[in-house]
Amino acid sequence: MSNETKRKGITIAGSLIADQFYKIDTYPAEGNLVIVRDTEGYIGGSGNLILDMAKLDPELTVEVGAIVGHDEGGETIMNALAKYPNIRTDQIVREGRSAVTMVFNAQDTKQRTFFFMPEASDKYNIDYINWDTIDSEIFHLEYLLLMKNIDAPDEEYGTHGARILAEAKKRGMKTSIDIVSEQSDRATKVVLAALKYTDYCAINEVEAEAATGVDLTGSADALMNNAKDALLKLKELGVGKWAVIHSPSYSFGYDCEEDRYETLKSFSLPKGYIKGTNGAGDAYCSGILYAALRGDDLKDAMYLATSCAAVSLSEENGTDAMRPYRDVLEFVKQFE
3-class SS letters over 279-336: CHHHHHHHHHHHHHHHCCCHHHHHHHHHHHHHHHCCCCCCCCCCCCHHHHHHHHHHHC
Dihedral through CA 180, CA 236, CA 246, CA 171, nearest 10?
-70
138 phi/psi in degrees, rounded to 5: -125, 135
pLDDT (0 to 100) of residue 302: 98
Cβ burial of 272 (10 Å; 0-12, 13-18, 19+) is exposed
Residues of the chain with pLDDT under 70: 1-7, 183
Look over the chain and give the mean of its residue pLDDT values, rounded to a whole number.
94
pLDDT (0 to 100) of residue 3: 41
| Sign of torsion over alpha carbons 320, 281, 186, 168 | positive
- Residues 6 or more apart whose Cβ sits within 8 Å of residue 44: 17, 18, 19, 101, 318
pLDDT (0 to 100) of residue 2: 43
For 222-274, the pLDDT digits (tens) are 999 999 999 999 999 999 999 999 999 999 999 999 999 999 999 999 998 98
CA atoms within 13 A on the CB side of 297: 7
Q: Does domain 7-131 have CATH number 3.40.50.880?
A: no
pLDDT (0 to 100) of residue 154: 97
Distance separating alpha carbons of residues 189 and 145, to the nearest angstrom: 10
DSSP secondary structure code for residue 269 in this structure: P
**pLDDT-above-70 percentage for the chain:** 97
Please say whether the beta carbons of 188 and 153 come within 8 A: no
66 phi/psi in degrees, rounded to 5: -170, 175
For 29-38, the pLDDT digits (tens) are 999 999 999 9
- The ranges assigned to domains in the chain are 7-131
Q: How far is CA 20 from CA 74, 81, 124, in A?
A: 12, 17, 21
pLDDT (0 to 100) of residue 5: 43
Q: How far is CA 9 from CA 6, 61, 174, 188, 292, in A?
A: 9, 5, 11, 30, 11
Distance separating alpha carbons of residues 100 and 67, to the nearest angstrom: 12
Distance separating alpha carbons of residues 202 and 53, to the nearest angstrom: 15
pLDDT (0 to 100) of residue 183: 65
pLDDT (0 to 100) of residue 318: 76
